[in-house]
């Protein structure tokens, strides 16, 4: 049984506590270390490791402080170099090479984003649960079998973006960057239809845009697409 806690999921910061009842992980560290401490009731010694997808501050802000606190950080070499991370608490992940962290077997895979070497994560535990974590990407070339939990970015819907551009609320340059850096509602639907979701128990929608999303609509449409329980991560 996987327990997921969102500490925050927006352009202001992203971080999630994940536990299988044995090993606790932190996915992303996009807030100050003190903020993460408070959100976790100062139980930082419970954290076996922190996985970071890429170097943008809303995903990596506390990385160096987390390492100083004695918690290993797992990320790609490209991300580590972009952040200036080094030392024995840094664990450089090689794409598609699984590693073990407590009761989890974890594999990083490449995604498309405007960052040095961004990753998505596939995590499996000893109880047969399999979690996919995919954020800040506009395309995923991989397909996955046997997933039980999915945490996936659902940043915007193209019809909302187009409407805001026509109304002069969103600059076309911002639209262009959005389309080349983030997963939309339409992307999520296509991705879910292309993957094996028969065993999926829970889907978390992450990183919804303040102006370009509709939480209730997104939740409803993904539930209709999959039949799974859908949650929208706290912003």
Q: Which of 109, 134, 138, 121 is nearest to 204 (CA)?
A: 134
pLDDT for residue 45? 94
Mean pLDDT, rounded, for 58-64 = 97
User: Can you give the CATH number for the domain in which 58 is found?
Assistant: 3.60.15.10
Number of structural domains found in the chain: 1
pLDDT for residue 178? 86
- Per residue in 4-17, pLDDT tens? 999 999 989 999 99
E strand segments, 65-218: 73-76, 90-93, 99-101, 104-110, 119-125, 130-134, 149-153, 202-206
- Quick one: CA torsion of 11, 156, 216, 5, rounded to 10 degrees? -40
DSSP-derived 3-state class of residue 63: helix
Mean pLDDT, rounded, for 149-163 = 96
Domain extent, residue 175, equals 3-232
- Per residue in 161-220, pLDDT tens? 999 999 999 999 999 988 888 999 999 999 999 998 999 999 999 999 999 999 999 999
């Amino acid at each position: 049984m996987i327990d997921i806690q969102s500490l925050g999921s927006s352009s202001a910061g992203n971080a999630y506590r994940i536990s299988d009842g044995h090993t606790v992980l932190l996915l992303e560290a996009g807030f100050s270390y003190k903020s993460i401490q408070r959100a976790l009731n100062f139980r930082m010694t419970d954290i076996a490791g922190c996985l970071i997808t890429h170097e943008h501050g809303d995903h990596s802000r506390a990385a160096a402080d987390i390492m100083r606190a004695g918690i290993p950080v797992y990320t790609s070499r490209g991300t580590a170099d972009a952040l200036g991370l080094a030392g024995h608490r840094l664990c450089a992940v090689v794409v598609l090479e699984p590693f073990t962290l407590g009761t989890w077997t974890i594999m990083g895979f490449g995604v498309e984003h405007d960052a040095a070497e961004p990753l998505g994560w596939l995590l499996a535990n000893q109880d047969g649960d399999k979690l996919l974590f995919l954020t800040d990407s506009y395309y995923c070339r991989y397909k996955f079998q046997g997933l039980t939990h999915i945490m996936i970015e659902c940043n915007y819907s193209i019809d909302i973006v187009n409407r805001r551009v026509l109304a002069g609320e969103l600059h076309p340059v911002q639209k262009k960057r959005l389309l080349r850096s983030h997963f939309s509602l339409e992307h999520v639907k296509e991705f879910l239809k292309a993957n094996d979701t028969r065993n999926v128990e829970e889907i978390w929608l992450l990183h919804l845009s303040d102006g370009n999303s509709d939480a209730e609509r997104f939740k409803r449409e993904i539930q209709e697409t999959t039949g799974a329980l859908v949650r929208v991560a706290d912003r």
